[in-house]
Amino acid sequence: METVSENRAFGGVQGVYRHTSAVCNCDMTFGLFLPAEAADGPVPVLWFLSGLTCTHENAMTKAGAQSWAAEQGIALVFPDTSPRGEGVANDEAYDLGQGAGFYVNATQAPWAEHFRMWDYVSDELPALLSDTFAIDPERQSVTGHSMGGHGALTLAMRHPGRFRSVSAFAPIANPTASDWGRKQFDAYLGADEATRAAHDATLLMRQGGFDGPMLIDQGTEDQFFDLLRPQALAEAMAAQRQDGVLRMQKGYDHSYFFISTFMEDHVTFHAEALYA
């Protein structure tokens, strides 16, 4: 594994690392913030899955999470959103291909050779982190934004017992019923409805929900509101009596200004679960 950079931040270290991924069949880059407490032993970890067009860097530099994570003694992981590099399939559209992995394992050409982001964030990267850094695999939580909110919610619901809490900022909440989902699932997964349903947070909520607390923030002025379909997830949460809350934040849009405004709330929410 190659160290791309390491910078002192809030008493800890914000690093960027590159490694060869057997799952994605290419080099992958991720960011990792380790608080000062990591020098004395394994610390709990909060995953941040980013949205369309993002790399590992967007949330790492714009979300303002490190100060709050340092205060709570929590590590932060910022994976990339897709495989990248020469020979990796791509598309001219911003919402397909590189930067738009949708946290699924592609089964269709030309995507299947590299686009296995589900296995990457579920298995390969967690194993690498716990083997290499002072990360406690028994204390994990996950959050994400937009496409990454979709990934966070589906990851948490499909891995019972792994994550102590889950949150999301403006998640793509019902992708099988949205153009942010149907297009990508057609390309990556083909026509199999069961495979597609396994990556839809609203459908997973209807089937059983999450075995822990959940926090979702959604801006009322989000320019992508109709594509995100938060109302479908809210109805499913109510029907399932999910331990959680979906907050409509008046006047906020889809940007990192929205995310950074409520990041302290989310880190505090996860810290309560991680240290329970």
Q: Which amino acid is at 255?
A: S
Q: What is the CATH number of the domain that holds 158?
A: 3.40.50.1820
Q: How many domains does the chain have?
A: 1
Using a pLDDT cut of 70, give the percent of the chain over it: 100
Average pLDDT, the chain: 97
DSSP-assigned beta bridge partners for residue 48: 143
188 is in which domain, residue-wise?
Answer: 2-275
Catalytic, 146? Answer: yes
Residue 120: the pLDDT is 98
Q: Give the predicted TM-score (pTM) of the model.
A: 0.97
- Sorting pLDDT into bands at 50, 70 and 90, what band is 233? very high
How do residues 155-182 score in pLDDT, each as one tens digit?
A: 999 999 999 999 999 999 999 999 999 9
Of residues 150, 222, 266, 270, which has the active-site annotation? 222
Among 134, 127, 222, 107, residue whose Cα is nearest residue 172: 222
How do residues 241-263 score in pLDDT, each as one tens digit?
A: 999 999 999 999 999 999 999 99
Residue 178: the pLDDT is 96
Catalytic, 254? Answer: yes
Of residues 114, 145, 199, 254, which has the active-site annotation? 254
- Sorting pLDDT into bands at 50, 70 and 90, what band is 212? very high
Of residues 146, 165, 167, 178, which has the active-site annotation? 146
